[in-house]
Amino acid sequence: KELSVLAISGSLRKHSSNTALMNAMIGLAPSRMDWKIYQGLGDLPHFNPDDDHGDGPVEVRELRAHIQAADAVLICTPEYANGVPGVLKNALDWLVSTTVFLQKPTAVISASPTPMGGDKAHASLLLTLGMINAAVVEGGTLIIPHITMKMDKNGAITDEQLRADLSSVLQALERACR
C-alpha cells in the first residue's frame, strides 16, 4: 500500500530554505510515498477558542481533514525570535481540541542559516506536538545548521551528508508507518 504523507513548511516565504528542503525531501522519497503539500498555513484564521466549536472555520476543517487523512506528517520549519513561527503554532493550536495528530508518525526538521539550526524552535515544536500526542518518529528529527551553505540558489541540496541525513529521516518515517 502507498503511504500518504502530508508535508508542511513553517515558512510562508517564497524563497524559503525550509520549503525548498521539504520539496527536496519529496524528491528524495521512495515512490511508494504519496505526498501532499499543505498550503493553507497563511490562510488560517487566528486561533480563538470562541471559534473552536463544532467543525469550526472552513480553513480549519480542511487542515484537520488533511492531517486526519495522512498516514504520516513531515514538518520543516524555520525559527523566528527563538521560537516556532506564529503561523505554524497557530495551526497547531487549532488541533489541540482534536485527535487528528494522535499517534500520527511525524518527522520534524528545522533549518537555519545560523550554527544553531533553529534548535529552539525545534525543541518548542516537539513540546507542542507532544501536547497533541503526535508520534514523533525515532530517527525522524533533524536540526540543520548553515542551511544556506548546503543548497544552491534553486534550493537543490548540494551537501552529501545532508542528503543522506534527509534520506534517513524519510526511512525512519516510512518504518514507523509499517
Which residues contact ligand FNR by CB under 6 A?
A: 11, 13, 16-18, 78-82, 112-114, 116, 118
- Closest distance of CB 12 from ligand FNR, Å: 8
- Closest distance of CB 95 from ligand FNR, Å: 22
Q: Is 32 helix (H, G, I), strand (E, B) or coil?
A: coil
Which residues, at least 6 apart from 42, have a Cβ–Cβ distance to it below 8 Å? 12, 87
- Closest distance of CB 7 from ligand FNR, Å: 13
CA atoms of 6 and 115, how far apart (whole Å): 28
CA atoms of 138 and 135, how far apart (whole Å): 9
Q: For residues 3 and 21, which CB has a smaller minimum distance to ligand FNR in the complex?
A: 21
Across the beta sheet with 105-111, the strand order is 33-37, 3-9, 72-77, 105-111, 135-144
- Closest distance of CB 77 from ligand FNR, Å: 8
